[in-house]
Structure 1
Amino acid sequence: MNSKPLSLSFARCLLRLQNGEMLNFSEIASKELLKQFCDDGIFQKLPAGGRRVNYVCTEPMSLHNYLKAQFDIISLKNYVSEFETDLSDGERSLFASKSTKTFRGKSLQGFFIRAFHTEIVVSGITIRSVPQGTELFIHQPEKLVISHNALVIGIENPECFLKFEKLVHLFPQKELVIIMRYLSNSPNKWLQTITNSYLHFGDFDPAGLHIYIREYRNQLPASRCSFFIPANIEKLIDRYGIPTLYDQQIHLLKNIDFQLYPEVEGLMRLLKKHRKGLEQERLLTHV
């Protein structure tokens, strides 16, 4: 058993992962422990475009049992709470002054947003356009108002977000609001406060389905939530799909009953049939 306790910063990361959040590499405090938890199958890697990856914990109970066995931590929440309580005022000040990454992460929570054929209002001001080369970032969603008729489309890939003009013809609904998470922070809390329909535009691979089901479909009413699948998806998967995306990610879906998610059941069958995954940016040049 490892007698050395986990640092507070790493324990906080564990707590976020246990609660269903997805973290990127720079957010996780200890890279050595990160590797250990991945090697032992507690964390799973999800591709985030290019060489970047995000980390999730698909089985919180496995994390709970692992912490108990390896670190003698019975309750992660209590461990963090007790650790924070034990800090003296001076230690708290020192910790706060040095934790600039944590501060930046908390202060910059939010998402990027674009509007097509509709307007968005922020703090009572109608935003009709932004200067070329910039994008609008919302860090206080409670000040954001969109048309009740707009379809909200969540995009995972930055390139697709920035070049959405090439894809807009795929979405016949006239009023569109496009959002993209910043770092690992999901916009699903904001989505829960509005009544608009939500369409997830992610990668067509096991990781993309996992993100959709875990972070959106399970958090929003089923009647409001769907997954974008182009009409020629099987042709695209067959021609441009990547086998390693399927092979390295399929474990993420082992405990999911797709009969509960009929909107993506057909896509899952295609992935199994071709044993490939397709990255969403492929649609920029092949639809």
Structure 2
Amino acid sequence: MAISAAIQALIAGEQVADSKLSSKLRDELLAEGLLSVISRGSRKSYRVRDVEALKRFLIDKDESYRVFEIKASDSRASMATETGNSKLVMVRSCPGFPVNSYEPIGCFFNGESFMVNPQEGSFLFVAEWEMFTIPEDVVVIGIENMENFRMIRKQRTFFEKYLRTHGLSNKVLFVSRYPQSTDLRRWLCTIPNHYLHFGDFDLAGINIFLFEFQQYLGKERSSYLIPDDIESRLKSGSRKRYDEQYGRYRDIKSDVCELQQLIEIIHKERKGYDQEGYIHML
């Protein structure tokens, strides 16, 4: 597959007109938060927010996005040995995803037990995720926003109350999709644990859950974290966020009653609410 001129322009940091991008890829990149929208009247164009994150997303999506034909096992080190320049190819030097916890969680790596218990202000990164397993009674909470992920201790009371109210285990491992890739989802598909998604309370956030997680994990194994007070919080949310997302995501629906109710509340209030608002729930 040839890399399109539009993708090359985005990677070069250039602005790209809406008409130059395929609608499917555009919607995926917007859902991932990789594009910023530039509007001039009825015309829209896009600029990439983080070039490296875009490269990682594209490479993980399709190996054809590599600059050269190389084996997936090749590394930057081997490229540097052969060419003297490790940056000639877009190889993912560090696959995987970060993990965090506010209390010790006994896990396994390559069959050997180890404790996930990062000091406050730090977290661990699991690179060889195929070797990583956790006890079946641990709930995996995926956090979309890195600020929330870093500051889980300032949300501990909030999480514990939610888990208790919904009959879920109080043993929790927090994970993040940063950097954007499918590694986290692929790992989740290999374990039986329940996955609880904590994202923004807007249409785009729900879309990410539905199409990046639930459709792969199923409704029995995955759920969206919906706080009891979200309706009142949405009243003070962002109208601009809702308006920007409405055209693209207005038709999303869920046959899970609680999630469909959240979608209807968002439409009723015509606002979106950032998950960072729950950081200081002590």
- RMSD of aligned Cα (Å): 3.6
The number of residues matched between the two structures is: 233
Q: State the SS of the aligned residue for 1:277.
A: coil
In structure 1, what is the equivalent of residue 109 of structure 2? 122
1:182 aligned to 2:216? no
Change (3 A) 1:215 1:13: farther
**Structure in which a larger fraction of residues adopt helix:** 1
The alpha carbon displacement at 1:180 in A equals 0.6
Q: Deviations over 1:32-82 (max 9, x none)?
A: 3x623477673146487xxxx4149xxxxxxxxxxxxxxxxxxxx8x879x
Specify the code of the residue in structure 2 equivalent to 1:185.
S
Report the counterpart of residue 110 of structure 1 in structure 2.
Answer: 96
Structure 1 residue 272 corresponds to structure 2 residue 272: no
- Pick closer, same or farther for the CA change 1:263–1:216 going to 2, 3 Å: farther
Deviation at 1:12, TM superposition (A): 11
Instruction: Give the structure 2 partner of residue 205 of structure 1.
Output: 202
Indicate if the aligned counterparts of 1:204 and 1:277 stay in contact, CA closer than 8 A. yes
Q: Percent of counterpart pairs with the same letter?
A: 27
Find the counterpart in structure 2 of residue 284 from structure 1. 279
Name stretches of at least 5 consecutive residues in structure 2 with no aligned partner.
Answer: 37-61, 71-81
Paired with 1:47 and 1:80, the residues of 2 have a C-alpha distance of: 19
Does the CA-based 8 Å contact 2:254-2:260 persist in structure 1? Answer: yes
Rounded to whole Å, the distance in 2 between the matches of 1:120 and 1:35 is 45
Whole-Å separation in 2 of the counterparts to 1:80 and 1:95:
22
- 1:38 & 1:95 partners in 2: Cα distance? 39
Post-superposition offset of 1:250: 1.9
Task: Map Cα deviations across residues 205-247 of structure 1 (whole Å, 9 max, x no partner).
Answer: 11101111110011112100100000010001102x0011111
Could you tell me which runs of 5 or more consecutive residues in structure 1 were left unpaired when the two chains were aligned.
15-24, 57-76, 86-92
Partner residue, 1:54: 34
Given that 1:154 and 1:180 are in contact with CA atoms closer than 8 Å, whether structure 2 keeps it comes out as yes
2:247 is matched by which residue type in structure 1?
H
In structure 1, which of residues 161, 164, 180 is the aligned counterpart of residue 152 of structure 2? 164
Q: Does 1:217 align with 2:199?
A: no
**What is the one-letter code of the residue matched to 1:121?**
F
Alpha-carbon contact 1:12-1:80 (below 8 Å) kept:
no
